[in-house]
Amino acid sequence: MSKRFYVTTAIDYVNGQPHLGHAYEKIVADVIARSRRSFGEEVFFLTGLDEHGQKVQQAAVAEGKTPQAYCDDLAAVWKAFIVRLDLSNDDFVRTTESRHKSVVQAILSKLNAEGHFYKENYRGFYSTKEETFLTDKDRRPDGTFDPSYGDVVELQEENYYFKLKDHQQWLIDFIEKNPDFIYPATRRNEVLGFLKNNILEDLCITRPANRLNWGIPIPFDPNYVTYVWFDALVNYISIPAALGDSAAGSAVNYQPSTINHPLSAWPADAHVIGKDIVKFHAVYWPIMLKAMGATLPKQIVAHGWWQKDGAKMSKTTGNVVDPIAVINEWGVDAFRFYVIRELDIGPDGNWTDEGFKARYKAELADALGNLINRSLSMLKRYRNGILPAQSNELAPDAEKVLNETRSLLEQNQLQAALQSIWSLVTRANQYVDRTAPFKLAKDPTKAARLDEVLYNLAEVCRILAVLLWPFLPGTASKIYAQLGLSGAPDKFAEARWSGLKPGHAIGTPAALFPKKET
């Protein structure tokens, strides 16, 4: 059985409100997953929820619920959210599931038995909000801690620590030898700079159960639960292990009982995450995996953060984008298109309602929608919807875009891939304007030329459906249906010229992106 292409998103804090940032990350991962499927690869796409920790415990108490009941209610909201985004995920992990918890405990037992942990008394400062210890390095010049840490309390407690220092030089060498491990290069350089200029502090991997009990119990010491980040990162390997992946299972010392069709996915090919959690994924996670004896993921894909109207999104100021409201009004594909077209993976982005509407009108309604609609309507009107003889006038343009798009998708350049696809949309719209089929139709001596033009336009529409499928799956399927083709346009190999056969009857054209009065 061949290994599947394995792509993940970060797992979201269950008590957060699903927003634009979460939606963006999931759509990026979905486009990567769908494009690999389209290339003919088998894929395993995982997303899910991070459900443990003090904040969840406190919020549950405040609502008079048990933490599990509180998480169950919110998990339903998140699951509905990903359905609205049209995600093609293969599984959905919740860190409170026993399939995940067993693996976390198996890893803890293994690493403890192999001497990776030690217990130490610590006196210092603790941010409950971030569930992390702070040191003097975290103080601002005036000696205070940033308000983003919330209330910072001084405490003294014994905990288990994971020895990270021993692995620091190995990690530097690994990142240097594997230039694609952290994408894009700006983030890679930041991580290398950090590792070369600081001595790694060992990682506190427990919290005393008498202070926080909403966590996974430490198997070798009942007085402690697992630090939420150690728990959360493990999701990437726990789910493959639980689904019978032998590479994952042997690294984590966990074999599920009976699995009929064991998964083969580890190591992950791409962990899609935001820039704020690069250190967890590019420093702690590789060291955890190395200590377990697991193969490292191929790539950490770190995207930037969205703002709205040039300012941080914040519920308190009302400066937020509600993805569901946008999808309700404009459709999921318009939302998916805007976030990928507007923001390359890496830099920060800025959502403006005007920008969204402008792209909807110019690129979706006037460019793509109009091309499909007029091409198919003319074929219907002038040739009764029947494909004329094959003609290859636009074949070289389509071929060029096809090759370019594939190579850009393979390099995570999703924005550039959309630009490339739109170059074909523009080319075909110019072709309509230049060849003027509505004039040709009036002149019976130009019938052969009109046949050529109509074939070329219909075939470009079909190829566009295939190229667009990873990005706009609903729209791509509609184009296929309007072309009278069955099945989904989900195979990249079918984007080769001459898929439409002469004599084929198309379906009924209909507007894909209705114009709106706004």
Interacting residues toward ligand MSP by CB under 6 A: 10-13, 16, 21-22, 24-25, 50, 232-233, 273-274, 276-277, 305-306, 313
- Specify the residue, 4 or 55, whose C-beta has the smaller distance to ligand MSP: 55
| Alpha-carbon span 488 to 480, nearest angstrom | 7
Tokens of 392: 């290859």
Minimum Å distance from CB 288 to ligand MSP?
A: 11
Q: Is the peptide bond before 240 cis (omega within 30 degrees of 0)?
A: no
In whole angstroms, the minimum distance from the beta carbon of 232 to ligand MSP comes to 4
Minimal distance in Å, beta carbon 155 to ligand MSP?
23
Q: Minimum Å distance from CB 510 to ligand MSP?
A: 34
Distance CA 379, CA 381 (A): 6
Q: Which amino acid is at 434?
A: R
Q: Which is nearer to ligand MSP, 216 or 232 (CB)?
A: 232
DSSP secondary structure, 318-380, as one string? TB---HHHHHHHH-HHHHHHHHHHH--SSS-EEE-HHHHHHHIIIIIIIIIIHHHHHHHHHHH
Query: Which C-beta is closer to ligand MSP: that of 233 or that of 450?
Result: 233
Q: Which is nearer to ligand MSP, 71 or 506 (CB)?
A: 71
When the beta carbons of 351 and 469 are compared against ligand MSP, the nearer one is 351
> For residues 10 and 252, which CB has a smaller minimum distance to ligand MSP in the complex?
10
Query: Residue 476, SS3?
Result: helix
Give the integer Cα–Cα distance in Å for 297 and 273: 13
Shortest Cβ 239–ligand MSP spacing (Å): 12
CA dist 456 → 96, 459, 502 (Å): 54, 5, 12
d(CA 283, CA 291): 12
Measured from the CB atom, is 305 or 422 closer to ligand MSP?
A: 305
Q: Report, in Å, the least distance between residue 274 CB and ligand MSP.
A: 2
Hey, what are 311's tokens? 């300012």
**In the complex, minimum distance from the CB of residue 273 to ligand MSP, in angstroms, rounded to a whole number:** 4
Packing angle between helix 332-342 and helix 20-38, nearest 10 degrees?
Answer: 90
Cα-based angle 229, 235, 241 (whole degrees, multiple of 5): 140
SS3 294: coil
In the complex with ligand MSP, which residue's Cβ is closer, 175 or 228?
A: 228
Q: Minimum Å distance from CB 21 to ligand MSP?
A: 2
As a whole number of angstroms, the distance between CA 22 and CA 44 comes to 19
Q: Minimal distance in Å, beta carbon 270 to ligand MSP?
A: 13
CB nearer to ligand MSP: give 23 or 164: 23
Shortest distance, position 230 Cβ to ligand MSP, whole Å: 10
CA-CA distances (angstroms) from residue 464 to 215, 287, 360, 401, 504? Answer: 48, 43, 17, 10, 18
Q: Give long-range contacts, CB 8 A cutoff, 24+ apart: 96-103.
A: 96/51, 96/52, 96/68, 96/71, 99/238, 99/239, 99/242, 99/256, 100/234, 100/235, 100/238, 100/239, 100/242, 101/216, 102/238, 102/242, 102/254, 103/234, 103/237, 103/238, 103/241, 103/242, 103/252, 103/254
By C-beta, is 24 or 181 nearer to ligand MSP? 24
Q: Which residue is nearest to ligand MSP (CB)?
A: 274
Cβ closest to ligand MSP, residue 146 vs residue 276:
276
Indicate the length of the chain as a whole number: 518
Shortest separation between residue 339's beta carbon and ligand MSP, angstroms: 10
H/E stretch holding 9 reads strand 5-9
